[in-house]
């Protein structure tokens, strides 16, 4: 991975842990393969989120601040990423990112790669890498940013990063917003709540290479149309919901049976601590036609304890 890409990803290094407004179907292109939205304001401002924020501060923010002199805790409010089948990955970083931070990131990039300045109308954007190698070639969701990327600071309060020039110009035309497709056949599941911290969804088949015999070719994934995840604050606890839409109701029922069986086996395991036992007992599994739903409520201190060990 080239170092200029490290500079981009340094800003969002904390994403796997974790909406001002939630993501909605209208906010995503029609052929979206996956999406991820993290609301860092909610993470910092909700009772359960504050617990996780402590760990993020120790493990991520402090290190980035030491290396780059950038305090992400003050400068990043929301992060949204998605990819569609036509134009590849897009990353949107929202917040009061300072001119000093932008200068730091640009300096890091220029130390490793030539930066080409381009214009679209009156707006400026930049390109790094080899355009001839643009395009997703594997299962890494950011593959198309590996060799070529476009980025812009032209929209106030929003950093734009894309794998295609067409996406960049479209975003600039729309004030940094995505021209969503509204409700349509095959639209991804989008879960939301009053205090959403994380939203994510995926069409597994959109990331599978039919000629590549890897873990994606498991029977469950092969029979999954799409899946979605939601993490939200609920009275100081972390409420987690996952939904999976299968190709056949019998698949959803089978998966539910497996999950319920595992829960039943572990619910009274004396070797597990009371917090884990409570988590297991609070996990609910439901099936409606071909949609499997799994819901649970987790003490954030338990999550913090797992992360620290």
**Beta bridge mates, 199:** 37, 230
* Residue 115 and residue 225 in one domain: no
Answer yes or no: is 182 within a domain: no
Last residue of a domain, one of 140, 173, 206: 173
Residue 10's pLDDT is 44
- For residue 93, tell me if it sits in a domain: yes
Measured distance CA(14)–CA(56) in Å, rounded? 7
Does residue 278 lie within any of the structural domains?
yes
**Is residue 226 in some structural domain?**
yes
Three-class DSSP category at 73: helix
Q: pTM for the full model?
A: 0.82
Together in a domain, 112 and 261: no
- Residue 143: the pLDDT is 66
Residue 180 lies in a domain: no
Helix (H) or strand (E) holding 59: none
150 and 13 share one domain: yes
Sign of CA dihedral 63, 64, 68, 69: negative
pLDDT on residue 264: 79
Is 163 in the same domain as 200?
Answer: no
**Same-domain pairing of 147 and 205:** no
Q: Given the DSSP bridges, would you call strands 78-84 and 158-162 parallel, antiparallel or unpaired?
A: unpaired
Residues 8, 43 within the same domain? yes
pLDDT at 151: 94
Residues 152 and 243 in one domain: no
Contact 106, 53 (CB under 8 A): no
Question: Does residue 191 belong to any structural domain of this protein?
Answer: no
| Distance set, CA 294 to CA 186, 242, 307 (Å) | 21, 5, 22
The pLDDT of residue 131 is 73
Whether residues 167 and 64 share a domain: the answer is: yes
Does residue 144 lie in a domain region? yes
In the chain, how many domains are there? 2
Note the pLDDT of residue 126: 95
Domain final residue, candidates 119, 140, 173: 173
Quick check: is 186 in a domain? no
Whole-angstrom distance, CA of residue 281 vs CA of residue 268:
9
Both 8 and 90 in one domain: the answer is yes
- Whether 9 and 139 share a structural domain: yes
DSSP annotation of 61 reads I
pLDDT per 10-residue tile (average), the chain, 309 residues: 44 38 75 88 89 82 76 84 84 89 87 91 92 55 76 93 91 85 66 89 68 56 87 92 91 88 75 76 90 92 79
Task: Write down the pLDDT at residue 287.
Answer: 92
**DSSP structure class, residue 189:** P
Does one domain contain both 112 and 69?
A: yes
177 backbone dihedrals φ, ψ, rounded to 5°: -100, 155
Beta strands in 46-138 (DSSP E): 78-84, 88-94, 116-120, 123-129
Q: Which domain holds residue 62?
A: 3-17+29-173
| Per-residue pLDDT at 218 | 63
One domain for residues 145 and 10:
yes
């Amino acid at each position: 991975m080239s170092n200029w890409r490290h500079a981009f990803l340094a800003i969002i290094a904390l994403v796997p842990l974790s909406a001002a407004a939630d993501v909605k179907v209208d906010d995503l292109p029609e052929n979206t393969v996956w999406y991820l939205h993290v609301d860092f304001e909610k993470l910092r401002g909700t009772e359960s989120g504050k617990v996780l924020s402590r760990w993020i501060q120790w493990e991520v923010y402090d290190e980035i601040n030491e290396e780059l002199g950038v305090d992400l805790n003050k400068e990043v409010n929301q992060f949204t990423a998605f990819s569609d089948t036509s134009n590849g990955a897009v990353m949107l970083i929202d917040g009061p990112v300072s001119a000093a931070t932008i200068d730091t990131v640009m300096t890091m990039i220029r130390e490793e790669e030539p930066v080409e300045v381009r214009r679209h109308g009156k707006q400026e954007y930049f390109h790094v890498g080899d355009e001839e190698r643009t395009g997703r070639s594997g299962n890494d969701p950011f593959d198309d940013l590996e060799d070529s990327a476009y980025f812009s600071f032209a929209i106030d309060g929003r950093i734009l990063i894309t794998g295609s020039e067409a996406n960049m110009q479209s975003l600039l035309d729309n004030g940094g917003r995505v021209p969503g497709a509204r409700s349509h056949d095959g639209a991804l599941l989008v879960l939301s709540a009053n205090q959403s911290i994380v939203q994510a969804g995926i069409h597994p088949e959109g990331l599978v290479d039919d000629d590549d015999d890897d873990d994606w070719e498991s029977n469950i994934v092969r029979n999954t149309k799409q899946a979605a995840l939601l993490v939200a604050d609920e009275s100081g606890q972390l409420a987690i919901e996952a939904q999976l839409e299968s190709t056949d109701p019998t698949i959803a029922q089978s998966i539910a049976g497996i999950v319920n069986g595992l829960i039943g086996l572990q619910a009274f395991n004396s070797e597990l601590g009371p917090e884990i036992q409570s988590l297991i007992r609070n996990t609910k599994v439901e099936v409606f036609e071909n949609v499997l739903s799994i819901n649970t409520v987790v003490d954030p201190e338990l999550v913090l304890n797992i992360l620290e060990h």
